A and B are shown apart, each in its own frame.
Chain A
Amino acid sequence: MKSESSRERIVRRAALELRDGFYVNLGIGMPTLVANYIPRGMTVILQSENGLLGIGPFPEVGEEDPDLINAGKQTITEIPGAAYFHSADSFAMIRGGHVDLTVLGGMEVDQEGNLANWMVPGKMVKGMGGAMDLVAGARRVVVMMTHVTKEGEPKILQKCRLPLTGARVVQRIISDLAVMDVTPAGLVLAEIAPGVTVEQVRQATEAELKVDPETLKTVMV
């Protein structure tokens, strides 16, 4: 299935954002899968906003602990060296700039780095959870998402149309087609996926894309 492989491609590329020693908060859903691709030998401490530093793998059958879940309410484990804390401490870490990186999903991102991922007018609003705090406070905000909607509509826009999660908060967008950086000069195409042309990326993007052939790379994942 094409959608499955493009999701996997996004996840694997997002894992390349990790650096040794980083404290990272991965969003619920697709971003959680990035944990499966932490390079061997690299130490990355995963933060869960419900009060844990040091998320371990999912438990084996029979080893689930109802007192130990992640922010997606999934049963998890702790790594040796884990620490627990209450929710105000958790968001002090997040808002206080102690979390090096957050990787979140997105419905829309625009060329100014605005992000919309919590609310669609007219539909039941479920809530923003910790997303607004994460984008306001993490040192680096990376959004991973399919480049276009299921209907083929662009999600990378000149200006977000949905209500925002954060204003001017996104530094990098990773899609199944490309990697783009939000810079003072605008949205810059940093990498394209193998077999994808710059023209294809432009076609799928509403935002104005700046391309420098000198620095453009093909993503090797």
Chain B
Amino acid sequence: MERIPDGATILMGGFGLCGIPENLIAALRDKGTKHLIVASNNAGVDDFGIGILLRSRQVKKMISTYVGENDTFERLCLSGELEVELVPQGTFAERLRAGGSGIPAFYTPTGVGTLVATGKEVREFDRRLYLLEKALRGDFAFVKAWRGDRLGNLVYRKTARNFNPLMAAAADTTIAEVEQLVEPGSLDPDTVITPGIYVDAIFQGTNYEKRIEQRTHRPKGGAGA
């Protein structure tokens, strides 16, 4: 945390509150680093996830795809204290993948003919129109995995994977927090999703809350989605 300067761009994994780097977010809040640009699919909720960094006024700009779960976000946006760049989710994911793999830009059909296309190059391939979108990189990436080893190899669990592997590859410095830190050789190499080459530091997190945003059930013994 000492090495993260004010104004840094930080990629933060997670979808809603699922697969977010809880420990790293809390540490950043405690450190008080300011004027941050945070790229994350969502903005957390009022009192958890990235929401706690918004409340403490540490974020200058968010790059996100959907921010509807957070009242603080709405207030800060309306008062002009927080800048937001909304990106279609697939474009957000692909910009990160491009950023991590040496591709400066790419064409996508998403957003042609919408506000998203404003100011962007439009080009026709095989009688269809595409937008030029640029890669997205961070100074830092905060990622969360289920298990990881001391070489930085990461394994995720279920839908907590989401943007984490993409962000791990797309930053100058990637810090991973894991629920279980194991010795090299403990992970089956065939199941590693993020190879350690992308990870600069790794630690075992503590006190995971893993809060659920929308607790939905079916009746006992019942069917239905």
Contacts and interface: CB of A to CB of B under 8 A. Distances in A.
A76 B17 CA distance: 14
A55 to B, nearest CB: 7
B108 A95 contact: yes
With a 10 A CB-CB cut-off, give which of B77, B93, B109, B225 has the most chain A CB atoms.
B225
Nearest to B78: A124
Contacts of B217: 58-61, 64, 75
Question: Which DSSP category, helix, strand, loop or mixed, fits chain A's interface?
Answer: loop
Contacts of B74: 124
Contacts of B109: 95, 136-137
A90 B93 contact: yes
Contact of A129 (B89, B96, B218): B89
A94 B86 CA distance: 19
Given A87-B163, A91-B89, A129-B66, A67 B157 contact: yes
B160 interface: yes
A51 B193 CA distance: 13
B151 interface: no
A165 B109 CA distance: 12
Question: Which DSSP category, helix, strand, loop or mixed, fits chain B's interface?
Answer: loop
Contacts of A167: 112-114
Nearest to A35: B225
Nearest to A95: B90
B78 A127 contact: no
A164 B221 CA distance: 42
Contacts of B67: 126-127
A61 B220 contact: yes
Interface in A66-122: 66-76, 78, 84-88, 90-91, 94-95, 114, 119
B218 A59 contact: yes
Contacts of B225: 32, 35-36, 46, 55-58, 76
A16 interface: no
Contacts of A35: 224-225
Interface string B212-225: 11111111111111
Interface of A: 32, 35-36, 46, 48-52, 55-61, 64-76, 78, 84-88, 90-91, 94-95, 114, 119, 124-133, 136-137, 163-168
12 contacts: A50-B18, A59-B218, A60-B220, A68-B18, A73-B18, A87-B90, A87-B92, A87-B166, A90-B93, A91-B93, A133-B88, A168-B113
Given A66-B160, A86-B193, A133-B110, 12 more contacts: A51-B162, A52-B159, A56-B225, A64-B215, A66-B18, A68-B18, A73-B16, A88-B97, A127-B68, A128-B65, A133-B88, A168-B113
